[in-house]
């Protein structure tokens, strides 16, 4: 489906599910949907600023978010209110599903951060992933999640990250 299709809505509700319940949902502007990859843009959906130590998300930040129906991750480019890129926050998720104006992904706890200049690449929340018990309850999903994190880290460190989003 192309973004210029008469059937394409101008927006989607993004729904992030974690441990079987909705963690957050928010409206986003649909920029593109080629049938495999969906691209949306949304303002920071948090009520307050969130400081991770390596980046701060706050009111006015704009996220361009890339979701795949066939990949185990989502990549979110983060820019401040002046349009300056802060970096990319990557969620390891089950492949996205889109239906009835909603894009749904299940967060699998693992994350990756890549700074705007590419000098900082951080694997995040590996302890939460281990504690989630996914390796015991769904070993195939756990293996896919770990593989996805490794792939994103390789792209972020060795090149090809921007090409993934082109």
Which one-letter DSSP state was computed for residue 124?
E
The distance from CA 125 to its chain's CA centroid, rounded to whole angstroms, is: 14
Report how far residue 22's alpha carbon sits from residue 77's, in angstroms, rounded to the nearest whole number: 22
β-bridge partners, 99 = 102
Structure tokens at 63: 């996220």
Looking at residue 47, its pLDDT comes to 85
* pLDDT one digit per residue (tens) for the chain, 166 residues: 334 344 455 999 999 999 889 999 999 999 999 999 999 999 998 889 999 999 999 999 999 999 999 999 999 999 999 999 999 999 999 999 999 999 999 999 999 999 999 999 999 999 999 999 999 999 999 999 999 999 999 999 998 888 999 9
Asked if residues 38 and 105 have their Cβ atoms less than 8 Å apart, the reply is no
* Continuous segment of H or E residues that includes residue 108: strand 102-115
Looking at residue 159, its pLDDT comes to 85
pTM over 0.85? The answer is yes
């Amino acid at each position: 489906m192309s973004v210029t299709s008469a059937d394409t809505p101008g927006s989607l509700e993004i729904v992030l599910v974690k441990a079987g319940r909705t963690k957050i949902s928010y409206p986003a502007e649909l920029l593109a949907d080629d049938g495999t990859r969906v691209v949306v843009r949304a303002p920071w959906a948090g009520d307050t600023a969130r400081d991770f130590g390596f980046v701060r998300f706050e009111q006015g930040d704009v996220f361009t978010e890339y979701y795949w129906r066939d990949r185990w991750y989502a990549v979110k480019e983060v820019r401040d209110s002046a349009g300056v890129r802060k970096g990319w926050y990557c969620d390891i998720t089950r492949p996205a599903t889109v239906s009835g104006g909603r894009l749904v992904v299940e967060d699998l706890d693992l994350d990756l951060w890549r700074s705007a200049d590419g000098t900082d690449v951080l694997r995040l929340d590996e302890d939460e992933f281990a504690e989630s018990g996914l390796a015991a309850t769904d070993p195939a999903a756990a293996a896919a999640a770990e593989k996805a994190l490794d792939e994103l880290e390789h792209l972020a460190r060795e090149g090809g990250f921007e090409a993934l989003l082109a």
